[in-house]
């Protein structure tokens, strides 16, 4: 009888410790995106890119990682699909509890947007892919920041007029949270390095908008 009670107590203690460890584990936040997520041009990128600032804002209960890749696009038929990049694989394998997707800016380039009919389906597939992970993450889809002057084929007419409405449509269908970074940086061209990439101050605004969404504010 004593042996049975000892074994029972051991099982209970093990379960309690396992639960306590799970509760203490930080929530993994995967920041998926392009050069804006990566922090292209941001001074001291390791400290001032939006994922880095987001990590500071969220605190010790979260672990935020930057899975941005410059030039990446959402479209599978685009010139640099995120689907085939190492960061996509790394984000999946990191067992995220939250995934923040900021893609779409590079999709506005003419060579990519000629495949516009695939954008909604590719976005839905990306959301489905992350939702199906064993970690069952919450997905937040960011609306792209404004483009203050066309560069490298990236242009505001396509971003605001076509891509953003499609993102909203798919997010509503998938019940994925939407973070309006377009509104967050609207009317702030001085925060952009080259009319496309936000500087450190712009990255901070992105981080604040994402943090507010994660916090449910």
Q: What is the pLDDT of residues 168-205, one digit of tens each?
A: 999 999 888 899 999 999 999 999 999 999 999 999 99
Structure tokens that stand for 84 in this block: 């085939």
Residue 2 confidence (pLDDT): 52
Residue 12 confidence (pLDDT): 45
The CATH class that applies to domain 27-214 reads alpha beta
Position of tokens 């001291």?
A: 44
136: left (phi over 0), alpha (psi -120 to 50) or beta: left
Residue 1 confidence (pLDDT): 52
Residue 20 confidence (pLDDT): 41
Q: Are 200 and 207 in contact (CB under 8 A)?
A: no
Contacts of 176 (CB under 8 A, 6+ apart): 127, 139, 140, 141, 170
Residue 176 confidence (pLDDT): 81
Contacts of 151 (CB under 8 A, 6+ apart): 194, 195, 196
Residue 175 confidence (pLDDT): 81
* Cα–Cα distance, 60 to 51 (Å, whole number): 14
Structure tokens that stand for 34 in this block: 């392009």
Can you state the percent helix, strand and coil of the chain, rounding each to 5? 55, 15, 30
* Cα–Cα distance, 5 to 3 (Å, whole number): 5
| Parts of the chain with a pLDDT under 70 | 1-23, 217
Give ∠ CA 23-29-31 in degrees, rounded to 5: 180
Q: Helical H runs in 45-85?
A: 45-48, 50-58
């Amino acid at each position: 009888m004593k042996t049975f009670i000892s074994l029972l107590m051991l099982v209970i203690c093990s379960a309690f410790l396992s639960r306590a460890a799970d509760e203490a584990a930080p929530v993994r936040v995967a920041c998926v995106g392009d050069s804006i997520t990566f922090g292209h041009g941001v001074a001291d990128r390791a400290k001032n890119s939006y994922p880095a600032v987001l990590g500071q804002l969220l605190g010790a209960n979260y672990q935020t990682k930057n899975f941005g890749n410059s030039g990446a696009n959402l479209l599978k038929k685009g010139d640099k699909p995120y689907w085939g990049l190492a960061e996509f694989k790394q984000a999946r394998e990191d067992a995220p509890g939250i995934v923040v997707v900021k893609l779409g800016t590079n999709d506005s380039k003419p060579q990519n947007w000629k495949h516009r009919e695939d954008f909604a389906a590719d976005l839905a597939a990306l959301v489905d892919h992350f939702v199906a992970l064993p970690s069952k993450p919450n997905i937040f889809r960011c609306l792209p920041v404004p483009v203050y002057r066309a560069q490298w084929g990236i242009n505001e007419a396509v971003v605001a007029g076509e891509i953003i409405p499609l993102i909203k449509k798919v997010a509503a269908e998938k019940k994925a949270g939407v973070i309006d970074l377009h509104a967050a940086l609207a009317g702030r061209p001085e925060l952009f390095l080259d009319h496309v990439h936000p500087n450190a101050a712009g990255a901070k605004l992105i981080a604040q908008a994402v943090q507010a969404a994660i916090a449910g504010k």
